[in-house]
Amino acid sequence: MSTDTSHQFDAIVIGAGMSGGWAAKELCEKGLKTLLLERGRNVEHLKDYPTTNMQPWEFPHRGQVPYAVRKENPVISKCYAYKEDAMHFFVKDTEHPYEQDKPFDWIRGYQVGGKSIMWARQVQRWSDYDFEGPMRDGFAVDWPIRYKDLADWYTYVEKFVGVSGNRDGLDSLPDGDFLKAWDLNCVEEHFQSKVKESFDDRHVIYGRTAHITEDRPIFREQGRGLCQNRRLCQRGCPYGGYFNANSTLIPWATKTGNLTLRPHSVVHSIIFDEKENKATGVRIVDANTKETTEYFANIIFVNAATLNTNLLLLNSTSARFPNGLGNDNGLLGKYVGFHNYRGKINAIHEGHMDFKTEGIRPTGGYIPRFRNVYSQETDFIRGYAAGFSANRSKTVNRDGAGSTMRENLLATNGYGPWRVGSHMMGETIPKESNFVSLDPNQRDEWGIPLLKTNIDYDDNDEKMLQDFFEQFTYMFEKAGFTNIRTRDTKQAPGLDIHEMGGVRMGNDPETSMLNKWNQLHACPNVFVTDGACMTSMSTQNPSLTFMALTARAANYAAEQLKKDAI
């Protein structure tokens, strides 16, 4: 084991994904020599996007994942983006096992850039209705921050990332620093108008998305171009038209001269020094050689993604912290939440038959949460947001065989009816009974205990799901849609890929793990700013909030370090 003190940095960031990339960028810009650790391989922008310009016929299986591969990877193959063009960015089930006390589909991407390469790019701000939720509704603990604490950081992140959207003027979904938006299509606008006519509290808006639609100096400086509407984002974009860490954050940190990037570094634990009463470094296992090395720094940012961050802290034991780093109150790994994506509804729109859809956009419609926003009005607490889209597909005649079938396929076949659909994004309530822990017996090939998940739905989720079906059926009827069908996918938690919590923020060290600056109460030179820090889940896609929290915390950490305050 190496204890070479020449492995000394000002800061160490664990995880080179979206939030870790933001931590590295901010710390490097503040002049801190920063080590960025990533357990997976390096993925460089442009260089390591092998499928980005391939045509459908160039894929051996025409984009489909072979049956044998799906059979070997039953969890990851459920993910919507796990296809032949992007499967190389996902973790194989067989190579990185975990234990499920209750079914949980853990979707992972171990490489520089993490899941920011394959994410769905939906970005919405939180409002005070979200931050005040636990205090008002009596679940979890009170957030130690409010919207005003993050508002400027949301703007800071949006300007760098590039977010297309409209200024909708909704107090429950604050506007941001937006680039121009794509238009909703005619049927989406039809639904928008019918909802506006029928409801005062419900809105159909353009889905805010992390794509560049206007040229700005900051994007030119990043070397990024406009979105080309290809919808091949999960392959990595050669234009840099959407945001990922590889095209923006990592290169930006690198050009400061202050970044050291070390891929293939599986972080085993954080080292706590009993004499100094602080964390002094990290212990890593080389992913390939299995050699153990230690690196040292004054501050440490943990951004390994929610469940791995919990795993790492639980595995960071010492005489001072026998149950995991900072875990004096026994809450580490508990109160994990996620988003309920089980509800789907589809229908037919029989109007607008003189219009059709051609081309693609990277987003569609979005219905912000409207349940229990201003007062408690249902028999469940909190609520749900939803996506909405409408499209017309061509009718294809596949009859015949040989030349007859060829002629039928090539013939102009017209268009089918308009199909509309929506899916819910329900806020789950973090509970002590939803937790992760370490398997006491089984370890992975790097000597780290396997993670055990014990996460499930509850009665509140079931009531919310039924309300989504009832309310959206009613809304679809108001819009004149027909053949309305609802479906409960019954998918396990995890497939939403929005797991959060386990290292929650709060004001009281007795009931939370982190303070308002994302510092561990019991070990203040360790910061957690990925999804693990979330106290509650809200209904918005969480990535923008992770990034804003990270930028805020990293700037605070750099200031405190210069003052010798941590």
Query: 483 — phi, psi (to 5°)?
Result: 50, 50
Tokens of 136: 């008002």
Band the pLDDT of 203: cuts 50, 70, 90: very high
β-strand 519-520 against 278-286: which pairing, if any?
unpaired
- Residues 139-153: b if buried by 16+ CB within 10 A, e if exposed: bbbbbbbebebbbeb
**% of the chain at pLDDT higher than 90:** 94
pLDDT at position 547 over 80: yes
Q: What is the pLDDT of residue 359?
A: 86
Q: What is the pLDDT of residue 1?
A: 40
pLDDT at position 296 over 90: yes
pLDDT at position 6 over 80: no
Q: Is residue 400 part of a domain?
A: yes
User: CA-to-CA distance for 496 and 89, rounded, in angstroms?
Assistant: 17
Whether residues 128 and 17 fall in one domain: yes
Band the pLDDT of 412: cuts 50, 70, 90: low
| Residue type present at position 31 | G
Residues 6+ away with beta carbon under 8 Å from 492:
103, 104, 105
Whether residues 523 and 411 fall in one domain: no
Residue where one domain finishes, among candidates 445, 468, 492: 492
**% of the chain at pLDDT higher than 70:** 99
Whether residues 531 and 556 fall in one domain: yes
Give tens-digit pLDDT for 246-271: 999 999 999 999 999 999 999 999 99
Give tens-digit pLDDT for 515-544: 999 999 999 999 999 999 999 999 999 999
Selection from 121, 203, 204, 210 nearest residue 165 by Cα: 210
* C-beta separation of 284 from 270 below 8 A: no
User: CA-to-CA distance for 361 and 181, rounded, in angstroms?
Assistant: 10
Whether residues 137 and 269 fall in one domain: yes
User: CA-to-CA distance for 165 and 188, rounded, in angstroms?
Assistant: 16
Q: Is residue 177 part of a domain?
A: no
Q: Is residue 440 part of a domain?
A: no
pLDDT at position 548 over 70: yes
Residue where one domain finishes, among candidates 492, 514, 537: 492
Give tens-digit pLDDT for 433-481: 999 999 999 999 999 999 999 999 999 999 999 999 999 999 999 999 9
Give tens-digit pLDDT for 72-82: 999 999 999 99
Whether residues 472 and 504 fall in one domain: no
Residue where one domain finishes, among candidates 469, 492, 515: 492
Q: What is the pLDDT of residue 2?
A: 44
Lowest mean pLDDT segment, chosen from 39-48, 281-290, 349-358, 508-517: 349-358
Please report, for residues 43, 304, 449, 455, the alpha-carbon distance to residue 268 in angstroms, rounded to integers and kept in the order given.
22, 12, 9, 24
Whether residues 298 and 281 fall in one domain: yes
Please report, for residues 160, 213, 305, the alpha-carbon distance to residue 111 in angstroms, rounded to integers and kept in the order given.
22, 27, 12
- Residues 278-313: b if buried by 16+ CB within 10 A, e if exposed: bbbbbbbbebeeeeebbbbbbbbbbbbbbbbbbbbb
Average pLDDT along the chain: 96
Q: Where are the beta strands (DSSP E) in 237-383?
A: 259-262, 265-273, 278-286, 292-302, 334-337, 339-340, 343-349, 365-367
Whether residues 252 and 300 fall in one domain: yes
Q: Is residue 53 part of a domain?
A: no
Q: Is residue 477 part of a domain?
A: yes
Helix (H) or strand (E) holding 420: strand 415-427
Whether residues 403 and 519 fall in one domain: no
Query: 293 — phi, psi (to 5°)?
Result: -140, 150
Whether residues 302 and 197 fall in one domain: no
Whether residues 382 and 402 fall in one domain: yes
Q: Is residue 77 part of a domain?
A: no
Residues of the domain holding 476: 182-207+339-427+457-492
User: CA-to-CA distance for 104 and 312, rounded, in angstroms?
Assistant: 19
Q: Please count the CA atoms within 13 angstroms of the CA of 450 that sit on its side-chain side.
A: 18
Please report, for residues 10, 278, 524, the alpha-carbon distance to residue 561 in angstroms, rounded to integers and kept in the order given.
9, 14, 11
Q: Is residue 72 part of a domain?
A: no
Selection from 106, 105, 57 nearest residue 84 by Cα: 57
Average pLDDT over residues 124-135: 98
Give the CATH number, domain containing residue 533: 3.50.50.60
Whether residues 393 and 380 fall in one domain: yes
Average pLDDT over residues 169-196: 98
β-strand 384-394 against 334-337: which pairing, if any?
unpaired
Considering its fold, how many domains does the chain have in total?
2
Give tens-digit pLDDT for 11-20: 999 999 999 9
Q: Report the interhelical angle of 147-161 vs 543-562 (nearest 10°).
A: 100
H helical segments located in 73-207: 128-131, 133-137, 147-161, 186-198
Give tens-digit pLDDT for 483-522: 999 999 999 999 999 999 999 999 999 999 999 999 999 9
Whether residues 250 and 322 fall in one domain: yes
Q: Is residue 228 part of a domain?
A: no
Average pLDDT over residues 325-342: 98
Q: What is the pLDDT of residue 5?
A: 59
Tokens of 401: 């065989």
